[in-house]
Amino acid sequence: DVKVTQSSRYLVKRTGEKVFLECVQDMDHENMFWYRQDPGLGLRLIYFSYDVKMKEKGDIPEGYSVSREKKERFSLILESASTNQTSMYLCASSLGRSLYEQYFGPGTRLTVT
């Protein structure tokens, strides 16, 4: 089974802090994704990566950056956390040829105070 793990289930940070969310997948998938999930809204794509050191902006990249130095690891960085970034963050991965068959991690619930 594909396993996607995220570094924390719950995280509380202060406004202005730099926040790192880590995601690791163990199935040698080429594609990795970061989403946020908010009540009443569908998942929204922040960034995705289709290869090491490659990244593409999603729908809502503002205030975020990403890093993919190794194939199995994709990091989401909040340079200066703000309260409107309080959300559930979900990481996913997929095989190169199957962009849409994504396997998700359990999520990190981030609260920015």
Partner 1 sequence: GESVGLHLPTLSVQEGDNSIINCAYSNSASDYFIWYKQESGKGPQFIIDIRSNMDKRQGQRVTVLLNKTVKHLSLQIAATQPGDSAVYFCAENTGNQFYFGTGTSLTVIP
Q: Which is nearer to partner 1, 19 or 46 (CB)?
A: 46
Site stretch for partner 1 (CB under 8 A), options 11-19, 64-72, 77-85, 105-113: 105-113
The two tokens of residue 21 are 């969310």
Nearer to partner 1, 13 or 103 (CB): 103
Q: Does 64 bind partner 1 (CB under 8 A)?
A: no
Q: Among the candidate windows 10-18, 68-76, 77-85, 103-111, which touches partner 1 by CB under 8 A?
A: 103-111
For 103-106, the CB contacts below 8 A with 24+ separation are 103/2, 103/4, 103/25, 103/27, 103/29, 104/4, 105/4, 105/5, 105/6, 105/23, 106/5, 106/6, 106/9
Q: How many of the other CB atoms lie within 10 Å of CB of 111?
A: 13
Stretch that binds partner 1, among 14-22, 43-51, 66-74, 79-87 (CB under 8 A): 43-51
Site for partner 1 contains 102 (CB under 8 A): yes
